[in-house]
C-alpha cells in the first residue's frame, strides 16, 4: 500500500471523528470504466445492493471533492444542466470520471459521513476540521480538495488556508447560459464579470458624473433659486440617495440580474417597479442622446477660424438685442432685453427655436444628422456589452476631470465671478423652500447624479463578483459625485456672474433657465480663454464623452432587462447580442426625433421634468418598499453579510426603513398641497394645459406597470383564494438552500427524496502493487482458461 495512503488510515484521529465510510445518494451507479489504479488515486468501492448483486469498481482521481478555486471551468453550467445530464461538468481535471447524476455531490460543500450505519451531514467547517486532522487540505473553506498527507507543518497550513489566485474571467455573453424556464429561474446566473474592480467603479462614476452633473445640475439649481436649492439637495442626497445607492448595488450583486428580475425575485408583488425603472431609463436615453447631438454640432463648429458665438456680427441669427463687451466699451445703449452672442447662437442658429410647444415648426435636419452620429457612437461603444464599454471608460471617465479643473481656474478669474459664487452659496429667498418644485428637483437631481432608481446601478452590480465590497464602491461613487457637482456648480455660476456683470442685470434675471443653459454659459467662458478654438474643441469633446458615459449605462440596463426577461427568444430569434443592441438604438433614435424640431427644446424640458424628476420619485419609493419592507430588512442584512462579511450600518438600515420613504412621501404630499406648473424662460412662458396632460400621462403609463404586474402576479400565484394568492406574492421568489438555508452556496441542487435512493460508496486505499500483479496474473489465467474452454467446445463440435 502507498505510504501516504497508509498514513491516512493509520492516523489515530480518523476514528475520532467517526469517519468510517463516505456515503451519498445517487439515482444510478456510475458505469464501469477500465482504468488501472496508478499513482496516488483512491478507489471507490460501491457496497452491495439490497438484492445482493455485485457492483463494479470505479477509479477516480484524488480530486474527488469539489473543484477548488485553482481549477475552475472556463464556462459555468447551472445546476439544472447537471441535473439534466449535461456531460460537460464543472471540472478542469480530466481524471474525474463521475456521471452527471453524481456531480451534485462533487459540487456540494458538505459531505455525508456514515457512523454506525447512520448518515450525518457535516458542514464545511466540520469538514475542514476533520479533514485537516487526517491530512486533507482545504482551499477556501467551502470547496474541499482531498490531497496527500503534508510532510511539514507549513505545508499543512498552506493546505488549510492557501492563497487564492485571481479567478478566470468568463468570456461568454452577458446573458446566462442556463435555460430560463422552470423552477431554476431563481438561481443566480453566470454573467460576464467586470475584468477588474476599477472597471466597475469607472462605469459607476462615468454614469453618475456624466450629463447629470455637468449638464443637468447647473440649470436645475439655477431654476430652483440658487443657494436655497443646496439644502434640500443635501438632505435628499444624504438620507435618500446614498442609502438607495448602497441598496441597489447590494441587490444587483446578490441576485446577478437586471432590475426587473431582481425586484421580481425579492418582491414578486412589486415586480412592476423594475419594469417602470427600465421604461424611465429608455425615455431618458431618447433625449440624453439629443445632448450628444448638440455636442457634436458644437464640436464641428469649433473648428472655424472665428467662433460664431463670440461676436454679434452674424446677421443670419444675431438680433439688435445682442450685447457683448465690445458694445459696452463703445458706450452704446444697452437694449431692454440684452442677450449674449452664445444665447442667440444656441436659440436662433442651432435650434431655430419657436415661440412655444404649440408651434412645433420644422425638423432640424442638421441636428438629425448629428443625432444619427450620436447613436452610431453609442452602438459601437456597447455592442459587445461590458467587454467593449469598459475599455472606453478609462478615457471617457477621467478626461473630463482634467478639463473641469482647467476651466474652473479660468472661470474664477473672470470679472463678476464673485456675484455668481454668492448666488451659488448664499440663499437669497428662503421662501423657495415652500415651493414643491424645489424639493422635487432636489430629489430628482440627487437620483440623477447618483444614477439610482433607473436600474443602471443594479445592472452594473449584477456583473460584480459575489464577494465584492459594495460599501467601498458606494463611498467612492457618492464622494466623487458630490465633489464633481460642487466643482461644476462653482464653475457654472462664476461664468453666470460674469454674464451678469456684462449685461448689468441681477443674477436671477441674467439668463434664461432651461436645458440649454450649459450651451450658453460654457461657450461664454470658452470665448475668454486664450486659443478659444482649441479649448472649445476639447470642451465639447469632453461633453461628448460625458454623454456617452451616461448612454452606456442607460442603454445597457434596457439590454440587460430584455435579456433577463426573454432569454430563450433572444437566443433563438435574434441569436446575436449585437442585433438586440442595434434594435434598441434604432427605436430610441425615432423616439428622440420630437426633441429636435423647432419646438423640441420645450418638449425636452417637459419630458425631463415629468420623467426624471416626478416619475423617478415614485419609482424610488416603491423600490424601497419592495426591498426594505416586503423582502425584509433582516433578510437583506443577512445577504449583505454573506457577500461582504459585514452588516450594513445602523445609519443605512435606519434610512432604508424610515428616513428615505418618509422624505419621499413628504415631498409627494408637499407637491399635492403646493403644486406649481412647469414654466420656461424664467417663468415668462407657461406650458399649455394639454402639454401638462401629456407629461402626467407619461407618468401614469410608467407607474401603471406597478399595479398591473401586481395584479398579474397575484392572478398567477399559487393559492386557493385571493388572500392566499396575495400572501404568496409577498414571499421572495429566490433560491434558498435546504441544507444551510443560504441563498448562494455550493449546495445549488435541490435533491428530492423521490429522485435519489441510498447507494453507499466506501472510500478504500489503492491496492498494493503486489496485489495488482496478482490480480493481473489471475485475470490472465482466467482469460487463458476461458480461451481453452472455447477451443475445447469448438473441437468437440467439429468432432461431432
Are 265 and 256 within 8 A, CB to CB? no
Q: Is 478 annotated as a binding residue?
A: no
C-alpha cell at 404: 473641469
Q: Of 97, 102, 105, 18, which Cα lies nearest the Cα of 65?
A: 105
Are 470 and 571 within 8 A, CB to CB? no
Q: Is 600 annotated as a binding residue?
A: no
Are 655 and 243 within 8 A, CB to CB? yes
C-alpha cell at 661: 420613504
C-alpha cell at 93: 481535471
Backbone phi and psi for residue 46, each to the nearest 5 degrees, phi listed first:
-65, 140
Using CA atoms, how far apart are residues 611 and 595, in angstroms rounded to an integer?
A: 15
Using CA atoms, how far apart are residues 87 and 571, in angstroms rounded to an integer?
A: 21
End-to-end Cα spacing for the chain:
52
Bridge partners, residue 533, by sequence? none
Q: Is 481 annotated as a binding residue?
A: yes
Bridge partners, residue 22, by sequence? 113
Using CA atoms, how far apart are residues 243 and 727, in angstroms rounded to an integer?
A: 28
Q: Of 68, 292, 291, which Cα lies nearest the Cα of 164?
A: 68
Query: How distant, in Å, are the alpha carbons of 221, 424, 443, 446, 471 from that of 449?
Result: 13, 18, 10, 5, 18
- For residue 652, what are the contacts with CB-CB under 8 A and spacing of at least 6? 243, 246
Helix H or strand E segment including 666: helix 660-673
Are 677 and 696 within 8 A, CB to CB? no
Q: Nearest 5°: CA angle at 203, between 202 and 205?
A: 60
C-alpha cell at 752: 428530492
Q: Is 546 annotated as a binding residue?
A: yes
Bridge partners, residue 15, by sequence? none
Are 6 and 736 within 8 A, CB to CB? no
Are 21 and 760 within 8 A, CB to CB? yes
- For residue 313, what are the contacts with CB-CB under 8 A and spacing of at least 6? none
Are 140 and 69 within 8 A, CB to CB? yes
Using CA atoms, how far apart are residues 137 and 96, in angstroms rounded to an integer?
A: 19
Using CA atoms, how far apart are residues 455 and 276, in angstroms rounded to an integer?
A: 9
- From the number of C-beta atoms within 10 Å of its C-beta (0-12, 13-18, 19+), residue 772 rates as middle
Using CA atoms, how far apart are residues 519 and 540, in angstroms rounded to an integer?
A: 10
Using CA atoms, how far apart are residues 502 and 496, in angstroms rounded to an integer?
A: 10
Q: Is 209 annotated as a binding residue?
A: yes
Helices (H) and strands (E) in the chain, counts: 34, 8
Helix H or strand E segment including 8: helix 3-10
Q: Nearest 5°: CA angle at 519, between 518 and 523?
A: 105
* CA dihedral over 544, 547, 553, 557, signed as positive or negative: negative
Look at the block and give the residue holding cell 469517519.
19
Write down the H helix ranges in 31-176. Answer: 79-83, 103-107, 124-133, 153-160
Which residue numbers belong to the known binding site for Na(+)?
Answer: 206, 209, 213, 449, 481, 546, 550
Which residue numbers belong to the known binding site?
Answer: 206, 209, 213, 449, 481, 546, 550
Amino acid at each position: 500500500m502507498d505510504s501516504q495512503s497508509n498514513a491516512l488510515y493509520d492516523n489515530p484521529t480518523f476514528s475520532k471523528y467517526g469517519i468510517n465510510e463516505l456515503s451519498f445518494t445517487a439515482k444510478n451507479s456510475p458505469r464501469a470504466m477500465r482504468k488501472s489504479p496508478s499513482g496516488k488515486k483512491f478507489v471507490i468501492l460501491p457496497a452491495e445492493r439490497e438484492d445482493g448483486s455485485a457492483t463494479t469498481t470505479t477509479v477516480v482521481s484524488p480530486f474527488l471533492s469539489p473543484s477548488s478555486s485553482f481549477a475552475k471551468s472556463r464556462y459555468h453550467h447551472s445546476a439544472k444542466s447537471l441535473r439534466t445530464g449535461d456531460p460537460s461538468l464543472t471540472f478542469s481535471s480530466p481524471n474525474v470520471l463521475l456521471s452527471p447524476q453524481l456531480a451534485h455531490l462533487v459540487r456540494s460543500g458538505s459531505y455525508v459521513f456514515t457512523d454506525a450505519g447512520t448518515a450525518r451531514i457535516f458542514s464545511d467547517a466540520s469538514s475542514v476540521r476533520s479533514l485537516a486532522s487526517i491530512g486533507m487540505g482545504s482551499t477556501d473553506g467551502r470547496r474541499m480538495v482531498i490531497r496527500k498527507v503534508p510532510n511539514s507543518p507549513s505545508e499543512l497550513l498552506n493546505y488549510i488556508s492557501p492563497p487564492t489566485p485571481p479567478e478566470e474571467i468568463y468570456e461568454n455573453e452577458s446573458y446566462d447560459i442556463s435555460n430560463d424556464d422552470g423552477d431554476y429561474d431563481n438561481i443566480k446566473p453566470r454573467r460576464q464579470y467586470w475584468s477588474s474592480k476599477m472597471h466597475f467603479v469607472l462605469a459607476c462614476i462615468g454614469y453618475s458624473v456624466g450629463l447629470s452633473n455637468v449638464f443637468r445640475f447647473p440649470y436645475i439649481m439655477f431654476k430652483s433659486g440658487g443657494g436655497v436649492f443646496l439644502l434640500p439637495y443635501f438632505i435628499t442626497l444624504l438620507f435618500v440617495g446614498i442609502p438607495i445607492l448602497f441598496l441597489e448595488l447590494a441587490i444587483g450583486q446578490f441576485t446577478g440580474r437586471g432590475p426587473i428580475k431582481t425586484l421580481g425575485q425579492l418582491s414578486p408583488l412589486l415586480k412592476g417597479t423594475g419594469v417602470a425603472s427600465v421604461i424611465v431609463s429608455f425615455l431618458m436615453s431618447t433625449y440624453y442622446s439629443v445632448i450628444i447631438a448638440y455636442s457634436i454640432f458644437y464640436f464641428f463648429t469649433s473648428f472655424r477660424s472665428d467662433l460664431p458665438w463670440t461676436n454679434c456680427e452674424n446677421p443670419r441669427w444675431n438680433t439688435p438685442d445682442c450685447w457683448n463687451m465690445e458694445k459696452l466699451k463703445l458706450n452704446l445703449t444697452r437694449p431692454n432685453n440684452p442677450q449674449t452672442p452664445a444665447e442667440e447662437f444656441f436659440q436662433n442658429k442651432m435650434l431655430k427655436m419657436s415661440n412655444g410647444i404649440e408651434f412645433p415648426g420644422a425638423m432640424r435636419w442638421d441636428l438629425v444628422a448629428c443625432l444619427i452620429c450620436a447613436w452610431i457612437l453609442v452602438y459601437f461603444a456597447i455592442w459587445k456589452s461590458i467587454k467593449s464599454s469598459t475599455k472606453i471608460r478609462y478615457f471617457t471617465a477621467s478626461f473630463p476631470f482634467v478639463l473641469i479643473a482647467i476651466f474652473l481656474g479660468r472661470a474664477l478669474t473672470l470679472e463678476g465671478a464673485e456675484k455668481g459664487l454668492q448666488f451659488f452659496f448664499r440663499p437669497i429667498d428662503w421662501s423657495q423652500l415652500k415651493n414643491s418644485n424645489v424639493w422635487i428637483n432636489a430629489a430628482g437631481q440627487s437620483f440623477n447624479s447618483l444614477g439610482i432608481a433607473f436600474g443602471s446601478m443594479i445592472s452594473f452590480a449584477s456583473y460584480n463578483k459575489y464577494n465584492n465590497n459594495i460599501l467601498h464602491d458606494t463611498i467612492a461613487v457618492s464622494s466623487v459625485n458630490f465633489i464633481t457637482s460642487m466643482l461644476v456648480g462653482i464653475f457654472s455660476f462664476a461664468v453666470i456672474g460674469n454674464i451678469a456683470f456684462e449685461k448689468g442685470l441681477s443674477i436671477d434675471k441674467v439668463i434664461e433657465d432651461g436645458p440649454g443653459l450649459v450651451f450658453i454659459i460654457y461657450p461664454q467662458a470658452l470665448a475668454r480663454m486664450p486659443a478659444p478654438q482649441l479649448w472649445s474643441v476639447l470642451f465639447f469633446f469632453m461633453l461628448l464623452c460625458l454623454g456617452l458615459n451616461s448612454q452606456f449605462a442607460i442603454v445597457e440596463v434596457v439590454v440587460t432587462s430584455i435579456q433577463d426577461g426573454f432569454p430563450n427568444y433572444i437566443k433563438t430569434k435574434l441569436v446575436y447580442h449585437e442585433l438586440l443592441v442595434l434594435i434598441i438604438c434604432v427605436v430610441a433614435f425615432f423616439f428622440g426625433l420630437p426633441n429636435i424640431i423647432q419646438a423640441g427644446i420645450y418638449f425636452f424640458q417637459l419630458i425631463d421634468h415629468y420623467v426624471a424628476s416626478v416619475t423617478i420619485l415614485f419609482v424610488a419609493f416603491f423600490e424601497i418598499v419592495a426591498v426594505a419592507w416586503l423582502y425584509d430588512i433582516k433578510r437583506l442584512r443577512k445577504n449583505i453579510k454573506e457577500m461582504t462579511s459585514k452588516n450594513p450600518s445602523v445609519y443605512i438600515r435606519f434610512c432604508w426603513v424610515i428616513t428615505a420613504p418618509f422624505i419621499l412621501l413628504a415631498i409627494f404630499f408637499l407637491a399635492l398641497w403646493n403644486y406649481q406648473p412647469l414654466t420656461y424662460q424664467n417663468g415668462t412662458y407657461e406650458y399649455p394645459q394639454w402639454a401638462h396632460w401629456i407629461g402626467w400621462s407619461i407618468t401614469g403609463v410608467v407607474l401603471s406597470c406597478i399595479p398591473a404586474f401586481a395584479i398579474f402576479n397575484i392572478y398567477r400565484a399559487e393559492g386557493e383564494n385571493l388572500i392566499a394568492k396575495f400572501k404568496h406574492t409577498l414571499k421572495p421568489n429566490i433560491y434558498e438552500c435546504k441544507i444551510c438555508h443560504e441563498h448562494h452556496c455550493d449546495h445549488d441542487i435541490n435533491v428530492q427524496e423521490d429522485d435519489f435512493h441510498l447507494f453507499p460508496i466506501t472510500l478504500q486505499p489503492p491496492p498494493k502493487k503486489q496485489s495488482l500483479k496478482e490480480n493481473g496474473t489471475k485475470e490472465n489465467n482466467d482469460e487463458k482458461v476461458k480461451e481453452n474452454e472455447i477451443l475445447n467446445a469448438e473441437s468437440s463440435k467439429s468432432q461431432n
